[in-house]
Structure 1
Amino acid sequence: MASHFLHESLTRSLLREMASGVFRDGQRFYSLRKIGRQWRVSEPTVTGSLRWLVGRGLLRMSARRGCFLTTGFQQRAQLLLRKARAPELAAAVSLEQKAWLLQGERGGVVALLLESDANAVLTAEEAGSEGGGGGGRELPAGLSSTVSRCAGAFARECERGGFEVRYFLYDAEREDGGRRERIRAGLERGGFAGAVVFCRSSHRVIRPLLEPLTRGRLPVVILYDDCQGLPVHSISLNNTGMGYDAVRHFYRMGHRRITVLAPRSSEKHHRDRVRGCVLAASEGGCRGVILSVFKIGGRAGGVPVAVRRHFANRVTRPTAVFVTLSGLLRGAGPLWERLGLEVPGDLSVIVCSSKSRMPGLEGAGSVDTMHLDLGARVGRMAARQLQRLQAGEALEKSVLLDVVHKRRGSVAKLGRKSEGRKSKV
């Protein structure tokens, strides 16, 4: 069994705090004295951990003022957590957890907040006289299959633990006749034992809804990767890790000219995937990588002239491409075909998707993909995390979802054709 120094275990615990979403960019981090008291370690141990975090660019020291978090610290902390091998230190039970333990009650009613899909339909009870503020007892119809599996697994796990679930469906795009305010009022008067949120939108939307619960120091678990400043426990989607893993894999396969194709939209999960690529390319372990990032549309006409020239140049064109959205291949795939570029002979490709066959790459067969491990497993994780919070046992504030990399033969080692027959785009 490998041995670990105490400051390495403390460092991992501090990384967990940073990844949780409790802090914001530029905010002051825990003081040296508070860290020592919370994790029961000496001042030299705390100093060693803080210096390591400063050296990795997560903190900056300010004389007589303490440590402050740098821009992008949360994504870096998530990536470093995945590499950490030292066991975490057990922290003292927080005041919030003590307040919950003093209530002495187990089980109860928990709220499950779901962001509305375009086709989601409220149950008759939820759409009734309370206007959606009281919560429904049945899962809303018309949700995406992923959200339905996740919510269903959460409900089943809660039932085993003695909880009863109430469903709340909110619209992140529009106010919808004051519906959010009615949900907020329902959470405030509902006597809930805690809440879980499956969120795809900005934390600015969900923050007011959760305020009645966080004000009462009740446990809240949020499934999202942008919960900075929210006093909740998070299951982080870690889209940054997808881009990071893709570039690292290309590098191990000998590729140095790597291109990232991202949509023109400004949605955070796409920006995080690009950010992960940039972080990987800037690390010392990826020397010599030339990373190019382009934003394109999902149609043949949506490919900018600069992108066409980029792939047409025989000298500088990339040998590997990471696509953050599978729909972009409707534009990129036909372009590669016109240029006579073959996968994986000329281009190694990884796509963010859970499907093996892609639009625009029908002739290339199965393609390497990366996706987050969503679905029923996440629902069970959320329920167990909530139960541990209720029991005062959840000491980590952030749980990272695994990145699933399906290797299907569309990434070849540089300098040789892939084994077997070469597929033409």
Structure 2
Amino acid sequence: MSISAGPPGPGELRRHLGVSDAVLVGLGSMLGAGVFAVLAPAAAASGGGLLLGLAVAALVAYCNATSSARLAARYPRSGGTYVYGTERLGELWGYLAGWSFVTGKTASCAAMALTVGLYVWPGQAHAVAVATVAVLTAVDYAGVRKAAWLTRAIVAFVLVVLAAVVVACLAGGAPPRPAPGGAAFTAAGVLQAAGLLFFAFAGYARIATLGEEVRDPRTTIPRAIPLALGLTLAVYAAVAVAVLAVLGPGRLARAAAPLAEAVRAAGVPALVPLVQAGAAVAAAGSLLALLLGVSRTTMAMARDRHLPHTLAAVHPRRHVPHHAQLAVGAAVAALAATLDVRGAIGFSSFGVLVYYAIANASAWTLSPGLTARIVPGAGLLGCLVLAFTLPSASVLWGTLVLAAGAAAYGVRKAVAARRP
């Protein structure tokens, strides 16, 4: 039975997003998060194994997408794995999923905002990042319909830029001989690269967190998630092959702006300003989708009083979680004013992998048969392996923040138990 797309009731969000809108929300997050920012550190970790790391990341992401789609069809409500973990594993696991998502993706939002600043005005990157957060928070506040249309325009522009990069690299004539060097090819390096690249694939979580805003979510969400993932993988593979063909793994690992350096090395320097503009727009598109998703999970947790209940408020006219949006925007702006980009990416990757580990564990409980549990089992194992092969600082800080969240949950439950 489908869920009505009629007028929302009090405290409910408006259901008006179709499959194409939901796919674009995922693309806007995934393309901005990875293709301009992650290839260089992934190449530094994997040496000549970048494409293998991309394949591993895509395989884990596929498992997660499949598990998320099954769960979203069963529980079409805002909150994503926070809802699934609570329903299938218990309140604590749902809370830990929500905590991992909100903290990890808040850091990711800051990283995307800083990326905008670094491309637009490197000397004032933090100030530009804070201003970008303020503008996009206002866009989300105005309503998800406007955010979806803006995401559509951003994705179209970014795809044009990436197509130009691929054509320039593959058809620009004989490139210079790639520089040697880079990390040695090891299994651990490939897994670390996969963990970093997975950060770029995680945008389909934004689709699941829109469970209360899509039409017929039991059909729309399972269709939108694999479509967004497949399109993103195709783009990533094409760009990675093209850039590697020009720069090679050693030079790619050392590149501060790998796509701009690739078109320059291919003999098409006129494309560099376009690539810089594309990077800034892609990061802004990613930030737009991330702000939307984090605010919805924050709202869901606030409804259950894991966060201050005022964050569950829905605007009476716009039907958006306006208190959660403003709180998330303020937190991201504070981080963007002070945070290091590389540290934010590693910390975010750890949180997202924990989040999806809980999603796969939740999907494991949906069906008792061994065949039905192969995909969620592989996804659970893959998430845990990739999480703990990330850089040691990311693992340490991620573990400490996760433990702090669990401690806060325990204290809250203890206090509630003592009340008459």
Shorter-normalised TM range: under 0.3
Structure (1 or 2) with the larger CA radius of gyration: 1
TM-score (norm 2): 0.26
Q: Name which structure has the greater RCO, CA cutoff 8 Å, separation 6+.
A: 2
Q: As a proportion of its length, which structure holds more helix?
A: 2
Q: As a proportion of its length, which structure holds more strand?
A: 1
